[in-house]
Structure 1
Amino acid sequence: MDLVQISRKPYKYIHADSKFTNWQKDFYEQNGYIIIKDNINYELIDELNQRFIDICEGNAEDAKCQIIKDPILKKKGAKGEFVVNKLQEITYDPILSKYSSEKSLLDVIENIIGPNITAVHSMLINKPPDSEPDISKHPLHQDLHYFPFRPAHKIVGSWTAMQKVDESNGCLYVVPGSHKSPLYKHEYPKGSNNALYHGITGKEHLPRKLVILEKGDTVFFHPLILHGSGPNMTKNFRRAISVHFADSNCQFINVAGTVQENIKKEVEDILRHRGIELSFEDGWKMKSKLIKGPAGNFQRFDSHL
């Protein structure tokens, strides 16, 4: 990938010193996402995949991540990789964390948000076969709904396919250009109670672009872009690994009284139910991890008080 051509054109969504080509800058600026082919090498992906299986089967005593199970498949008695649909906070796992520090990934992240990089949310997503469609899919949403920090253009998500992903096994879809929209109100879709899987209604008519990827391809996307994913309709797994990164100096905001108030309340209620008294904002700081550059607001618990 050519990362040497520097444009003099002012960009709103790309870091000022980005070494993306003019075409790459223009594409991200206009569409809110960009696909980098062969971004992560097969050897690392295979290592991450084996780590996932080891964790699912209880063969990783040093694992440091949160295991989320598909509630329907759990009731059916599924075990191991057939019941786990997500590993969260993987940046602290000794093996899975290799993804968030991979140079080929960080080179792209730096070209979008700059050199001061904090990993703010991380997960390995597994769509097992035989799950219910409403559990397996993710409704149309904007990731910024979950984040109490700004500015939005200093946040970017990475999503890497661990094998080919297409419409049959539940690939991502995006609404190109929707990153220029405001943050919409998110709620649970009618009939759904999949915890924290909020979505947007009234935007289903907007044209969508399927993000079809081969193993090792990565899509990078702005946190305001409208996107989601379909269910896995195959008899095989569909796996991807994803991390959201932010400029370490992003400012934390109080989302009370805004369209994000419901997610703040729900998250704090979940934590309180677990015996944890922690604000929505400080929760994001606690699970973030400095990746590159000096410490910033994510590493200061009094930065927004």
Structure 2
Amino acid sequence: MGSQNFRYTTDKGCLTLEQRKFYEENGYLVIKKFSRMKTLRSGRPGCEGADGEANITKLQDFQFDDVLQTYCTNPDLIPYLKSFCGENIKSVHTMFINKPPGMGVSSRHPFHQDLAYFPFGPADRIVAAWAALEDSNLENGSLNILPKTHKGRFFDHSYPDDGEVNKAYFGIKEHEKFDDNRINLDMKKGDIVFFHPLLIHGSGENKTKGFRKSMCCHFAASECEYIPIEGTVQELVAKEVMSYATKKFPHVLDYHSIWRAKAALVSGKEFEGKL
């Protein structure tokens, strides 16, 4: 397996040859019935009962939460992460996402590339792990992806001009040229999809009367390095994040320092001066 010219996967993980070839070609990989994860509710203030569930649409940056961080350190997950990041891995962004019914178009996330949010690289050693906590389908706002776009360029991102979206839910306008290849990921509870940070993807609104819950965490090799963001696609996102981060946390010095605080080792070792 190691003799083949793989760019987007490593020899360190558990993927089969066919799985590696699929990810290399398409930029994503779905693992069915990966876990029997339970829907988050008990033990978290404000999450009890139907009304509480509707009030919370996202929990972020739980790298220091003893319960939630177990998703990132799951022994069954680590071998897969090694397939994309190598032996030394950090969680760099952690999210529990809830789409309640009745939120309208504001619950969508326009087509985007996750690399727009990350001021570090290389991109090929970064991966998202998106797990369905409830069945996810077209009606309740499942993930839509544009396969093979991880091989393309890094697009400019901005807020869409065709409707309301949540804060920092940026999108790319040029995605229309790929729409013929759009795939809706119909996933069952416990399925997980891994995808490259340049893969164009998004999610629609929840048009059902139920909830669509997922866990999405991003991981990167500990060897990744921070990059200058001036004049890059990431600069727009950085300015947006800093505008409200400095109001809440006046001691924040720069955008990179936010990501240093968010990164947490999940496997292997750390490297001084790196991620």
Which range, TM-score by smaller chain?
over 0.9
Partner AA of 2:26 in structure 1 = N
Residues 193 and 159 (structure 1), Cα distance of their counterparts in 2 relative to 1, 3 Å cut: closer
The answer to whether the 8 Å contact 1:173/1:229 transfers is: yes
Could you say which residue in structure 1 is the equivalent of 2:261?
286
Could you say which residue in structure 2 is the equivalent of 1:29?
24
Could you say which residue in structure 1 is the equivalent of 2:190?
216
Could you say which residue in structure 1 is the equivalent of 2:116?
145
The answer to whether the 8 Å contact 1:271/1:278 transfers is: no
Pick aligned residue for 1:56 from 22, 43, 46: 46
Unpaired stretches in structure 2, ≥5 consecutive residues: none
Deviation for aligned residue 1:91: 2.5
Partner AA of 1:49 in structure 2 = L
Could you say which residue in structure 1 is the equivalent of 2:66?
94
Deviation for aligned residue 1:214: 0.7
Counterpart-to-counterpart distance in 2, 1:57 and 1:228 = 25
Counterpart-to-counterpart distance in 2, 1:13 and 1:50 = 36
Matches within 5 A, 1:191-270: 191-192=163-164, 194-206=166-178, 207-270=181-244
Q: Deviations over 1:187-223 (max 9, x none)?
A: 0001435210100002223121111111111000000
Partner AA of 1:293 in structure 2 = G
Counterpart-to-counterpart distance in 2, 1:39 and 1:238 = 18
Give the structure-2-normalised TM-score: 0.93
Aligned-residue RMSD, C-alpha: 1.9
Q: What is the count of residue pairs matched by the alignment? A: 271
Counterpart-to-counterpart distance in 2, 1:97 and 1:245 = 13
The answer to whether the 8 Å contact 1:7/1:21 transfers is: no
Pick aligned residue for 1:185 from 133, 156, 160: 156
Percent identity (aligned): 38
The answer to whether the 8 Å contact 1:121/1:245 transfers is: yes
* SS of match in other structure, 2:102: coil
Q: Are 2:131 and 1:160 aligned?
A: yes
Q: Are 2:85 and 1:110 aligned?
A: no
Could you say which residue in structure 2 is the equivalent of 1:15?
10
Give the structure-1-normalised TM-score: 0.84
Higher RCO by CA contacts (8 Å cutoff, separation 6 or greater): 2
Matches within 5 A, 1:62-101: 79-101=51-73
Q: Deviations over 1:235-261 (max 9, x none)?
A: 000000111000011011011111221
